[in-house]
Amino acid sequence: MTLFLAAFLAAELTDSPLGVQLVGAAFYGPFLIGAVGGMLSDRYDRRLIIVAYLLLLTPVTLGVAALVLTDAIRLWMLYPFGFLAGFGWILDLTARRALVADLVGDDLVTNAFSLEAVSASVGGIAGALGGGAIVGLAGVGEAFLAMAALQAGAIVLLLRLPSPRARRRNAASWRDDLRQGIALLPRHRALVSILGVTVIFNLFYFTFIALIPERAEDLGVGAFGTGVLSGASTIGATCAAVAVASMARPARGRLYVFGSAAALAALPVYALVDIYAVALLALILGGLGVGGFVTMQVTLVATAVEDEARGRALGLLSTAIGVLPVGTILLGLVAEGVGIGPAIAGSACAGTLALILWLARWPEALRL
């Protein structure tokens, strides 16, 4: 709901695709320092890290709601808000998801992460559809109020959860921790292969998300239709995640790689058709591939290294995701020149080619 509402509001405040994409870049920008999240996750209580972040974000969200309700909101105000929310996404990836592995152990980690992906997907659907519905029925400001209430609810749930084991304290210095995280790469060739696929998929696929409100305008739909379009990929991802969660021994690497390829292949259809139903269906089908990618991404990274290095490995993953703001800005610049649809389609085709070339050089992810 956070990114959907910010992008929807930005589309109302400006007619510039680049201006909207910069909101997305603000959300994704903190991933460039994702290794910091990994170090925090390995040092401190992972549950309390997320609680502390939500305690900061909730009043800020209320402040944005107040600005919208009083017509004092300006486009530039969404950039610091997006950066703060994006930093929380780093902590979510490195702390909360590592906490999942802590709770269940290695034997159940694949199924646990699949169920975690289901919960995240359901949240994504509810956020997009609920956000669009609230905007349509009440307004954008009221939707931000609802989002703040959800954040408060998350705090309550996390406080009820016991920490399964103590975090490392007074361990190596921050510099040593960072060095040890980077040192994981030459020791784990499979980790390099996994992270390369992550870089490509985030650079060429996820960058279109902030432009969904602009694309929805081209397709002639309102706030709720925009919300449905925003949740379409997540609907497909949820179906895939449920299927994977029920498998005893899923082919992790192939789900991860071929899921990425399938999602990229469906994106040009969404970008170039003029019929809303067809665009929606393309995103849902592509979402099946996204589900394979998202479900296996954290699982592969978390199980590719030793338990004590899990947070740092996930920190490297969030750093790899950090290419998103670069791709988001580039896509916005291209869209300013050639239009939103051709820019998204071109990005997907470039991503498919890059994926093929990368796996020809680093095929380990496919063999896992």
Instruction: Convert the pLDDT of each residue in 339-358 to its tens digit.
Output: 999 999 999 999 999 999 99
CATH topology for the 2-161+174-367 domain: Growth Hormone; Chain: A; (1.20.1250)
- pLDDT score at 367: 83
Per-10-residue mean pLDDT of the chain, 368 residues long, equals 89 88 86 72 81 93 96 94 89 79 76 78 83 91 95 92 57 58 70 91 91 90 89 87 78 90 96 94 94 84 73 77 86 91 95 96 86
- At residue 172, the pLDDT reads 54
Half-sphere exposure of 77 (CA within 13 A, CB side): 14
Strands (E), 32-80: none
Instruction: List the chain domain ranges.
Output: 2-161+174-367
- Phi, psi values for residue 151, rounded to 5°: -65, -40
Residue 155: alpha-carbon gap to chain centroid: 20
* Cβ–Cβ < 8 Å for 76, 83: no
283 close to 271: Cβ distance less than 8 angstroms: no
Q: How far apart are CA 99 and CA 315, in angstroms?
A: 14
Task: Judge if pTM exceeds 0.75.
Answer: no
Residue 75: both structure tokens together: 């486009």
What span, in angstroms and rounded, lies between the C-alpha atoms of 194 and 296?
10
Tokens of 182: 């980077």
Q: What is the pLDDT of residue 283?
A: 95
Q: How far apart are CA 180 and CA 16, in angstroms?
A: 42
Predicted local confidence at residue 189, as pLDDT? 81
* pLDDT the model gives residue 170: 45
DSSP state of 167: P
- Within a 13 Å sphere around the CA of 25, how many CA atoms are in the beta-carbon half? 16
At 28 the pLDDT is 83
Neighbour-count burial for 322-352, b at 16+ CB within 10 Å, e otherwise: bbbbbbbbbbbebbeeeebbebbbbbbeebb
Give CA 56 to chain center in angstroms. 20
